[in-house]
């Protein structure tokens, strides 16, 4: 009889304690964090359909999970002499001059690969292809950490899979200025820059290497 009473008392105490803990949890505000997308080889990393029209929309409170991304300003590294000279001559530069093309614009894995992949050492400086204004800078789902620059001439350039971002929205950048570091964030199989050019508005991609070549910037590998 004493044993039954003791067990009943312990059960009541446990239920009450669990109810109190649940109430305390529900009273604690949920923090908003940027979810880190899990890389997967089963999906197309840079397909147009990977990112919605507004990929930088933050998650709703309490729905995000995973490790928050660390996005912090970084010192602007000196632009290499070649890129600096090219910017002064043509007004445009190769956004990842230390890399080489590993995948071109076009159909890939049954979807449109909407840009060119240029791979170099992890952490290589990524440069603004031309002068303009940063209109987006942050987590862009499948693109990982990304920057979108409006050049004010009817074209925008998009830089994806960065490991760090060195600019902020609204900032004016010049051709050849460092905007971030090469990385492998988002849906990516290894360190590289995914570079896109959009005509008129974002989500209207065109072939980027021909566009750069027309502006005096050769990017061998997609001729």
Q: What is the pLDDT of residues 113-149, one digit of tens each?
A: 999 999 999 999 999 999 999 999 999 999 999 999 9
Which residue do the tokens 């890389």 mark? 39
Tokens describing residue 158: 């998009």
Please check whether residue 1 lies inside any domain of the structure: no
Task: Provide the terminal-to-terminal Cα distance of the chain, rounded to the nearest Å.
Answer: 88
- The total of structural domains in the chain comes to 1
Average pLDDT, integer, range 13-36? 39
Please check whether residue 9 lies inside any domain of the structure: no
Contact 64, 34 (CB under 8 A): yes
Please check whether residue 101 lies inside any domain of the structure: yes
Mean pLDDT of the chain: 76
Please check whether residue 158 lies inside any domain of the structure: yes
Give the global pTM.
0.68
pLDDT at 132: 98
Tokens describing residue 206: 């065109």
Domain of 92 in residue numbering reads as: 48-57+69-214
Least confident of 51-60, 122-131, 133-142, 156-165: 51-60
In the structure, what pLDDT confidence band is assigned to residue 95 with cuts at 50, 70 and 90?
very high
Please check whether residue 191 lies inside any domain of the structure: yes
Q: What is the CATH number of the domain that holds 188?
A: 2.70.70.10
Please check whether residue 39 lies inside any domain of the structure: no
Please check whether residue 149 lies inside any domain of the structure: yes
Please check whether residue 162 lies inside any domain of the structure: yes
Least confident of 22-26, 30-34, 43-47, 204-208: 30-34
Separation of alpha carbons 213 and 223, rounded Å: 10
């Amino acid at each position: 009889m004493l044993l039954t009473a003791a067990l009943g008392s312990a059960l009541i105490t446990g239920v009450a304690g669990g109810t109190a803990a649940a109430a305390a949890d529900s009273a604690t505000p949920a923090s908003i964090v940027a979810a880190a997308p899990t890389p997967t080889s089963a999906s197309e990393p840079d397909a147009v359909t990977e990112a919605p029209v507004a990929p930088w929309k933050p998650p709703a409170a309490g729905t995000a999970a995973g490790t928050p991304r660390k996005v912090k300003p970084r010192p602007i590294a000196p632009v290499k002499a070649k890129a600096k000279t090219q910017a002064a001559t043509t007004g445009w530069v190769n956004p990842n001059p230390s890399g080489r093309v590993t995948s071109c614009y076009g159909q890939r894995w049954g979807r449109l690969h909407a840009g060119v992949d240029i791979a170099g050492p992890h952490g290589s400086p990524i440069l603004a292809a031309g002068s303009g204004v940063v209109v987006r800078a942050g987590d862009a789902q499948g693109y990982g950490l990304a920057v979108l620059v409006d050049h004010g001439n009817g074209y925008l350039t998009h830089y994806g899979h960065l490991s760090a971002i060195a600019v902020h929205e609204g900032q004016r950048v010049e051709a050849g200025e460092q905007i971030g570091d090469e990385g492998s964030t988002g849906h990516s199989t290894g360190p590289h820059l995914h570079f896109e050019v959009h005509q008129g508005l974002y989500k209207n991609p065109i072939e980027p290497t021909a566009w750069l070549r027309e502006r005096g910037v050769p990017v061998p590998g997609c001729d």
